[in-house]
Amino acid sequence: MLQMLRHAAGTWVAKLLLLLLVASFAVWGISGQVAGGFGDKVVVAGDASASTTDYRLAYDRRILTLSRQFGQRITREQARSLGVDNQALAELVSGTLLDAQAQDLGLGLSRQRLAQIAGSDPTFRGPDGRFDRGTFNAVLREVGMRPEDYLRSQSQVAVRQQIVAAIADGTDVPDTYLSAVALYRGERRNAEYISLTPKALPEPAAPSDEELTEWYEQNAAQFDAPEYRDVSLIVLDPAAIADHESITDEKVADEYERTQSRYGQPEKRTVQQLLYPDMQAAEAALAKLEGGADYDVLLSDAGRTVSQATLGSVTKSDIADPAIADAAFALESPGTTDIVEGKFGPAILRVTEVTPPSATPLDEVADDIREELALSQARNELLSIYDTYEDARAGGATLTEAAERIGVPVRRIEAIDAQGAGKDGEPVADLPEAENLLTGIFDADEGLENPSENLRGDGFVFYEVNGITPARSRPLDEVREEALAAYKAEKARGAVNELATTLEQRLREGDELAAIAGELGLSVQTVTDLKRDSQNQSLAANAVEAIFGVPSDGAGNVRAADGQTYIVFHVADVFRPVASGAGAVADSEQTAFSRAVSDDLLRQLVDRLETVYAPQIDQGAAQRALSY
């Protein structure tokens, strides 16, 4: 039962009550607080109350649970940011409301039943598997709880569960409801549709100056010029400070030798190996070779096939036995070796193929090696140069002067908006990949030094705002072409919408979709066996929903996700699922539906208890409970 108490807030019922009561604080949290306080009572509801100790225990239990989840002790600051104090308070209110209801109903728990609860908790069992008072006291001391507090809490939990169980248990969903679910999910439909775009209609006529002016006045906000900022940047990264001239030809050559495997392939040989149990057997085999026998004869004598004896096409380092490797790569050409004394006994080898080594000449990779060495050296010097820049700024140097001191150029961007675009509307090229750079630029004051931003790779960006051009409304003459295009696009969308509505009505009146499509020069598309949860490549989810929103032989239209296209459809066939009884719904889903019904009943209970008992919270007492 102690485990149940510790994890009570983790059960689905407790979570439900908690969520409901947390939500209710938004409604009555202000009026439900009292100024005078209740002494050591944090919550009062009817004749029931919860003390500062109760609140602190609820708070500590939540801290313990979160600490276990995160694998480390949660601090007070972290707990506050996670809202643990409010969650514990909500838990306390839910319990107090149930306590008040239990008192009015005269519910209680006998001492004998309470003893049974404590005795059945495996946490308190001794080595003999039975309840042990010493273990009982030790465990409670560990969690900071007195025995009488534990017993009172267990009594409260048991009584509260009587109320919750009376409401939530045994709430089975009717078969009629489950059958409706099966029908809803299993229904399939065949439909035909056409896609209407502005291209299907003549281009809207150009507006008169008066019409465009009137339209622009109603839509001027979408053409406002954004705020622009003139900013200077310094990008301090390895590429900016790499000193290629300090990388001598000797260093490049040394690095080439050290990493030569990167620039070529080592020699490979196809090697076959025959191992012998002793030297006598190996010498007999060698004698056959020297007498003119082929290596294949040795394989046959040993009962081995070529594939079984072949080590593969290997480099010298691929062969684990040094003696075998040396012998195989000592042959000047394909052939057989003498007896080799390897780790696993005497062996005779055959090399059937030699692939010579290949290497890219140093001249072809020298520039790449020099670049890598210069960047590696720059990374080692990056923090030192960063300190040099910061020291220069601290000493009164301007951004430009500090940049000169570290040998890094200043980049001037004369106009950039909060989305990273210039005045031409195009993204500013080569903007440093600092996640918060734009935010920092638009939060900064003009002419002041700002903290650096970290690059996503390695490095820093320093910036300074030189000037600010405020956002402004632009006159029509300045954006006439854009305004005209937007006007025509809006009119085209409206015309497509109107046409879709007209075509839908024609379908409802009995016209054939094929005939309508022929008039417009469009093709009819079809979908078959469509279900509500279908992932259809040609139809978006809202179109599928619309198709299931009309009866068989019904018609409709819906706007596509691009905002320009309209889908006009006709439902040709509707098929009921073969299995549409309650049994078609999985047991796990039936359980979930039953729980949802229980949730609804519990929500009504909580609403009623709040109305009857009007819980009050003493925030001062709550704060005192967490002050020690």
Tokens, residue 194 = 């056409």
The model's pLDDT over 559-586, given as tens digits with 9 standing for 90+, comes to 988 888 999 999 999 998 888 888 888 8
CA neighbor of 538 nearest in space, from 550, 529, 546, 527: 527
The model's pLDDT over 345-355, given as tens digits with 9 standing for 90+, comes to 999 999 999 99
| Amino acid, res. 266 | P
The model's pLDDT over 116-163, given as tens digits with 9 standing for 90+, comes to 887 888 888 888 888 888 888 888 887 677 888 788 878 888 888 888
What is the arithmetic mean of pLDDT over 220-230? 94
Asked whether the predicted pLDDT for residue 496 surpasses 90, the reply is yes
Asked whether the predicted pLDDT for residue 15 surpasses 60, the reply is no
Task: With residue 472 as reference, give the H or E element that holds it.
Answer: none
CB 596 within 8 A of CB 181: no
Distance CA 236, CA 452 (A): 10
For the four alpha carbons of 295, 298, 299 and 300, in that order, the dihedral sign comes to positive
Tokens, residue 127 = 């080595």
CA angle 586-591-595, nearest 5°? 145
Write the DSSP symbol of residue 211.
Answer: H
45 vs 28, residue with greater confidence: 45
CA angle 291-293-298, nearest 5°? 120
**pLDDT classification of 109: cutoffs 50, 70, 90:** confident
* DSSP code string of 302-337: HT--HHHHEEEEE-GGG-S-HHHHHHHHH-SSSEE-
**Residue that has been written with the tokens 């008169």 in this structure:** 208
Task: With residue 110 as reference, give the H or E element that holds it.
Answer: none
What is the arithmetic mean of pLDDT over 92-116? 86
142 vs 35, residue with greater confidence: 142
What is the arithmetic mean of pLDDT over 405-413? 95
For the four alpha carbons of 198, 200, 201 and 206, in that order, the dihedral sign comes to positive
Question: Burial, 387: exposed, middle or buried (Cβ in 10 Å; 0-12, 13-18, 19+)?
Answer: exposed
Tell how many helices (H) and how many strands (E) occur in the chain.
Answer: 24, 18
The model's pLDDT over 268-281, given as tens digits with 9 standing for 90+, comes to 999 999 999 999 99
CA neighbor of 290 nearest in space, from 339, 330, 353, 326: 339
Tokens, residue 184 = 């809803």
Give, to the nearest 10 degrees, the angle between helix 147-168 and helix 12-28: 90
Q: What is the pLDDT of residue 298?
A: 92
Distance CA 398, CA 501 (A): 65
**Residue that has been written with the tokens 């967490």 in this structure:** 626
Asked whether the predicted pLDDT for residue 6 surpasses 70, the reply is no
Structure pTM? Answer: 0.50
Structural domains of the chain ordered from first start: 41-170+605-626 (1.10.4030), 188-217+481-575 (3.10.50), 225-246+365-473 (3.10.50), 264-359 (3.10.50.40)
**pLDDT classification of 165: cutoffs 50, 70, 90:** confident
**pLDDT classification of 32: cutoffs 50, 70, 90:** very low
Asked whether the predicted pLDDT for residue 16 surpasses 70, the reply is no
Share of the chain above pLDDT 90, in %: 53
Q: What is the pLDDT of residue 39?
A: 61
User: Regarding beta strands 41-45 and 48-51, do their DSSP bridges make them parallel or antiparallel, or are they unpaired?
Assistant: antiparallel
Spell 513-530 as b/e; 16+ CB within 10 A means b: beebbeeeebeebebeeb
